[in-house]
Structure 1
Amino acid sequence: MPANSLDRSIVVGVDASESALDAVRWAAVDAALRGAPLHLVFAVPPVDDAPLDESPVRLLHDRLRDTAQAALDNAAEIARKAVGDRLVPGIRTFLVDEPAVTVLSGLAETAYFVVVGVRGMSAYHRSLLGSVSTGVARHAQGPVVVVPGGTEPISDRPVVVGVDGSVHSVRALEIAFDEASRRDVPLLAVHVWEELSGDTRSHAEAVELLTGMLDRNAAEFPGVEVKTLVMEGHPARILLDAAAGAQLLVVGSHGTRGYPGMALGSTGHALLHGSECPIAVVRLRN
C-alpha cells in the first residue's frame, strides 16, 4: 500500500472490537467535515517464513484474514451510517500483513489523522488493552486521535487545546482552531505553568505567551469563539479537568522540556491514559 495513496486522508485502525467502531464513527464524521477520504486499515500480524499452504499456522492466518476482511466490511458500513447525508470523498478498506503499530505509525507520516480506539475509558483498562493505541500515539510521526468508548462523533461541546509554547503545541493550536471551526463550537485554550518544575514566570507573562500564540490563528478563524484558561499548577491535572466537558482535547506530543526524538512527554502520557474525551496527540513530522 503506497504511503502517498493515503496522503491527507483520515486513517482508522480497525480490529474486531467495538472500540474500533467508535473510532470509525468519529473518523467518518471528521472526514465528512473536512471533505477528506476515509481509509480503514486492518493489520494482521504476518506469518514468519511462509509456511506450507496446509500447515496449521497458514490456515490460522487465513482465518484471521477472513475475519479481518469481514470486520473491514462492517466498519465501512458503520462509517456510511455515521456520516448520513454528509459527503465523504471515498471510503476505502485495506487489509495488510504487518504489525498494527508499525503500519499505523508509518501511515501517520502522510495522513491528516490516524484514529484508533481504546477498550474502556479507565486508565486500568487502557493499560491492559490499549497497547496498539498507546504504541501508535507514542511513535507515530504525525497527529493521532485516540477515541474512548461511547464517544459522540460530534456535539455542541467545546474543543480544548493545551498550549505551552513548544513547536508541537503550535501545530496543536492550528489543528484545534480548525476542528472548532468545522464543528462550529467554542475553543478553550489552556496554558499551565508549574513553579515546582523551575518555571518562574508571572501570571502576566503566561497570559502574554498564550495571547501571542492565539493571535497567530485568530485572523484565519474569525468565527471561532475563543476562551482562555491560564493557571499555575499540574499541567495534566488541569487539562483533564478542563477537558471533562469537551468533545476533543488537542495537545502536543511533548512540551518545552522535551528533547528531539522524544516519543511522548510525561504530560502527554498522563493525558493519553486519563482523558475521557477523544484526544489528539500532535507530533511534528520529520
Structure 2
Amino acid sequence: MVTKKGYTFLALNAVRALSIIALLLLFASSIVTMVQDVKSVNAFIVAGKADPNIRVAEGNSTDVDCISTDTDYIDGSTVPNQPAGAFWAVLNRLLIIFQVIVLIMSEVGWPAAFFSRFFPILGNEFGLGALGVIQCLLGAAVLSHHVDEFSLVSAFFLFSIGCLNILLGLIYRESAKTRRAPKAWREQYQDVLPTTAPLGPPRALVMASTGSSAAWEREKEGADASRSGSLSSQKSGMGFGRQGEKAALARGYTLTRPGETLPRYAPKPTVTVRDSTVSYAESETVA
C-alpha cells in the first residue's frame, strides 16, 4: 500500500517530468524561432537591395534599418527593426537555449557536484522555488514577443510549470528535492523489509531404519536431557567463588590471576634509613 510519502514522491516526480517536457519544448521552439529569424533577416536584406525605401547598413549585413515608420519588427520574425537588432535577437535565443540546458541538467540531477559548487540554488540543498522563478522568467521572455503558435504554447506551458514549482518550493522548501529522489523511496521501505540472519552450514539428515525405533527414541531422550541440562546450566551459574573456579578447571579453562598493583592515586612507598652512628653511640653510653 502506498503511504503519504509515496504519494508525495510520485507527485513531485510527475511535476519534474512535466518540467523536463516543458523545457524540451522551449528548447525546440527556440531553435525553430532562431532559424525563422535568420531566414526573415536574409529575405529583408535581399529586399533592401531591390527596394530603395529599405536601407541596409554597410559593412554588416545583419545590421538592417528601415526608413518606413510603420514597421517595428522585420516581417515574419521577432527581430526588432533597429541597429544590430538581428544580433541581439539571435543572442537572446542562444542564451535561452543555454539556460534551458542548465535547467534540464538540474532537473535530472547530473552532475550534482557541479551544481552544489557553482550553482547552489539549483543543487540538492535548495528547493524548487529558484527553479520555478527561472522558468517563469524564461516563459515571460518568450511571451513578451510576437511568436508563432508552437513557441507560444511552449512558453505558456513552461510559465505554468514554473508557477507550480514556486508553489511546491513554498510548501516543501529545501526538502522538495530530497523527497522526490529515488534514494528517499528506497529508504522509506528499508525498515519494513525483514532482516535475515546468516545461516550456518546445512546439517546432515540421518535416516533411521524401521527396526531401530527404540534407538531413535533413546537418542531423542538423550538430546532432550542434554538440552535441558544446558539450559539449566545457563540459568544457574557457579559465580566467581571456589565452585566456579573448580567448574572452569573441570571444563579445561585456565585461570590466571592479575598481578598485584597499586592504584594510581596511592602514594609511592618511601624507604627510611636509620643512622647507624647515632644508634652505636647510644649503645656505648648505656654500657
| TM-score in same-fold range (> 0.5) | no
Structure with the greater relative contact order (CA < 8 A, sep ≥ 6): 1 or 2? Answer: 1
TM interval, short-chain normalised: under 0.3
Name which one, 1 or 2, has greater alpha-carbon Rg. Answer: 2
**TM-score (norm: length of structure 2):** 0.21
Q: Which has the higher helix share?
A: 2
Q: Which has the higher strand share?
A: 1
